[in-house]
Amino acid sequence: MIGRRWRPWQLAVPILVVTMAVGYLASHPAPRFRSQAVFEVQAPAKELQHSDNPNPYADVKGSLAATAAMVAQGLSSESSAEELHSRGLAAGYSLNPRNSGTVQEPYYWLPRLDITADGPTIPAAMSSLDILTTALREGLISLQDRAGVNPDDRVTTKLLVPPSTAPIPVRKSRALAGVLLVGGGAAWLVPAWVGNVRRRRALRRA
């Protein structure tokens, strides 16, 4: 194509065609879904009746919220993420404790966790959320096992907001603008660069 009678449009047109194809894909991404639920770490019934519960994780005045944040932090680690994905977790996930403070000075007063799990389909996202909530319960049990807490004194999880699944919004305009910017620049710069190279070669031959 780049012969003796080469013209800039011979490169610009294919680049623009590819840009249009990539732009279409960027503006029509594969759908992704997010399942979410809200759980609460709650004290055992014994704690609500007596104030002498030996479980250090069951203090309704503060440590329940700290316990929820501790479990969430543990499940958010890199090693935990690898284990969760090995169980079948489809994509990204998050466990966010309810922060009653600020980003700079977090304060966990409510023992609640906002849990989300993503997936390429609704069933995959829902299955991932089930895997995550199971890991949450197991993490809380393991934490109390290591502390030697008696079964009757243990804190548990309670579902506050039932799971729901919805499509993840995609900023199509931003992705499309980025593709068009790069493609348009390439359609102008590449032919100009090739033209300069050809001119320098022609001058050397002369």
- pLDDT of 66 reads 83
Over residues 177-187, the mean pLDDT reads 77
* Topology (CATH level 3) of domain 33-167: Alpha-Beta Plaits (3.30.70)
Closest to 196 measured CA to CA, from 4, 8, 12: 8
Over residues 28-43, the mean pLDDT reads 86
**Residue 37 forms beta bridges with which residues?**
115
| pLDDT greater than 60 at residue 99 | yes
Cβ pair 140, 155 in contact under 8 A: yes
- pLDDT of 1 reads 46
Burial letters for 105-123: b for 16+ Cβ neighbours within 10 Å, e otherwise? eeebeebbbbbbbbbeeee
Q: What is the pLDDT of residues 101-125, one digit of tens each?
A: 666 666 667 788 999 999 999 999 9
Cβ pair 133, 93 in contact under 8 A: no
Over residues 122-144, the mean pLDDT reads 92
- pLDDT of 172 reads 67
Q: Of 60-64, 99-103, 165-169, 185-189, where does the model show the most confidence?
A: 165-169
pTM for this model (two decimals):
0.65
- pLDDT of 200 reads 79
pLDDT band at 135 (very low <50, low <70, confident <90, very high): very high
> Where are the chain's structural domains?
33-167
Better pLDDT: 144 or 49: 144
Better pLDDT: 147 or 184: 147
Over residues 1-21, the mean pLDDT reads 72
Look at 73-77, 139-143, 169-173 and tell me which has the smallest mean pLDDT.
Answer: 169-173
Q: Enumerate residues 6+ apart whose C-beta is below 8 A from 179.
A: 19, 22, 23, 26
- pLDDT of 86 reads 92
